[in-house]
Amino acid sequence: MTAPTTTDTSGASARWLRRPRPRPDPAARLVCLPHAGGTASAYSSWLDRLPATTELISVQYPGRHDRLAEPLMPSVVQIADAVAPALAPYADRPLFLFGHSMGSLVAYEVAIRLEAGGGPGPAGLFLSGQLAPHRSAPPHEVMDDATVEAEAREAGWTDPAVFDHPELRELVLPPLLADVRASLSYHRDDPVRLRCPIAAYGGSGDPGDVPRELAAWGELTSGSAAGRVFDGDHFYLRAAEAELVADIVARMSDWGEPPVGQH
């Protein structure tokens, strides 16, 4: 296989994607999309858990870290519209998408765009800590900061200390609220059914019937579907990182190339 068709050092790929350990000839790429308020560095500890043949690509949303001066995007669809074309230079190898919390919604929307586009669709989709689009509540009518912050507190979408520490609030709260608002305003009554396989993950301490909610993601693919519950809360993936990444790596190996019709 050849290298990506363009380095795109000044374009969308350079703005949106971080490759902390570039691989010159990877067999596959795992694209990770952060949770609400999260950054690309959230997945840096995964590097040493992935095979040398897998390249990790982390998505950096605007309004944080090296994109601090850029305006925030309070829409899952808007984010996906930007991420999907940014991935084009790296679609010469099988692309697997992983998202946690809000990142799951973005990953799902990116997968829709990749399957509808002219290039390869995703080889697989990993979704974590998030209701499937057709299982989520209709968008909130009131989306002021106080309402969004209350939802973020109740759902445990970030460390509670963020809300009570003035310096942390100033730095972390704006992107967190924008991302939570994006999650709360996202809903699909008639979601798109994908072709790629899906694996959904969750923490046993998340509200609701977690196994049932994870199984609902399987309704959104004509490919294989699986779910796994880990001990822990919404951020179970921190304590269960080794088990989670091992499960992802095993499924990437099983799924292999994209399904027929996605080449």
Residue with tokens 């046993």: 204
Q: Which two tokens stand for residue 32?
A: 């990770």
- With beta carbons less than 8 A apart as the criterion, state whether 143 and 181 touch: yes
Between the CA atoms of 19, 21, 25 and 28, what dihedral angle is there, to the nearest 10 degrees? -60
What strands lie across the sheet with 17-18, from one edge to the other?
17-18, 54-59, 28-33, 95-100, 124-128, 198-203, 225-230
Q: Is the dihedral of CA 212, 232, 253, 87 positive or negative?
A: positive
Rounded distance between C-alpha atoms, residue 169 and residue 121, angstroms: 39
Rounded to a whole number of angstroms, the distance between the first and last alpha carbons of the chain is 14
**Catalytic residue from among 13, 58, 101, 104:** 101
Residue 128, beta-bridge partner list: 100, 201
Q: Note if 65 is an active site residue.
A: no
- Report the C-alpha gap between 133 and 191 in whole angstroms: 7
Q: Does the annotation count 101 as an active-site position?
A: yes
The number of residues in the chain equals 263
CB 124 within 8 A of CB 255: yes
Closest CA to 124 of 181, 171, 194: 194
Spatial CB neighbours of 84, under 8 Å, sequence gap ≥ 6: 110, 113, 114, 117
Catalytic residue IDs: 101, 234
